[in-house]
Amino acid sequence: MCLAVPMKIVKLTGTDAVVELGGVQRHINLALLSDSELKIGDYVIVHAGFAIQKLDNADAEERLKLLQEMLELL
């Protein structure tokens, strides 16, 4: 039910966007992120036709890198 997937913004039109995942495109609503700056190429988490959160790219890469380093060091 709380299933939500990371999708890439390919088109922005005001409060709506077109997002893509694995070649599948969907129209979604951005009302829940109206205070975030969004641009084409950003990833958002999509649930029930709405973007519920913007994905933090820098954080995602940093965290994976840290995890990798930590596992090798320990």
Partner 1 sequence: MRYMDEYRNPELGRKLLGKIEETLRKFPTKIAVMEVCGTHTMSIARAGIGRLLAGKVGLLSGPGCPVCVTPNDYMDRAVAWARCKDVIIATFGDMMKVPGSTSNLYREKVAGAQIAIVYSPLEAIGIAEACPSRKVIFLAIGFETTAPTIAATIKCAREKNLKNFFIHCGHKLVPPAMRALVNDPELRIDGFICPGHVSAIIGSHPYEFIAREYYIPCVITGFEPLDILEAVWMIVNQISRGNHATVEIQYTRAVKPAGNPNALSLMNEVFEPVDSIWRGLGTIPESGLIIQESYADFDAVKRMPVAVEETREHPACICGMILRGVRLPVDCPLFRTMCNPENPIGPCMVSSEGACAAYLKYENR
Distances from the Cα of 23 to the Cα of 17, 27, 46, 48, angstroms: 16, 13, 15, 19
Contact (Cβ atoms closer than 8 angstroms) between residue 19 and residue 49: no
Q: Which residues of this protein are in contact with partner 1, per CB under 8 A?
A: 1-4, 6, 8, 21-22, 28-29, 31-36, 43, 45, 47-50, 52-53, 55-57, 59-60, 63-64, 67-68, 71, 74
- The minimum distance between CB 6 and partner 1, in angstroms, equals 4
- In the complex with partner 1, the residue whose CB is nearer, 12 or 55, is 55
For residue 1, give the 3-state DSSP assignment.
coil
In 3D space, the residue among 7, 3, 10 whose CA is nearest the CA of residue 21 turns out to be 7
- The minimum distance between CB 15 and partner 1, in angstroms, equals 10
- The minimum distance between CB 11 and partner 1, in angstroms, equals 17
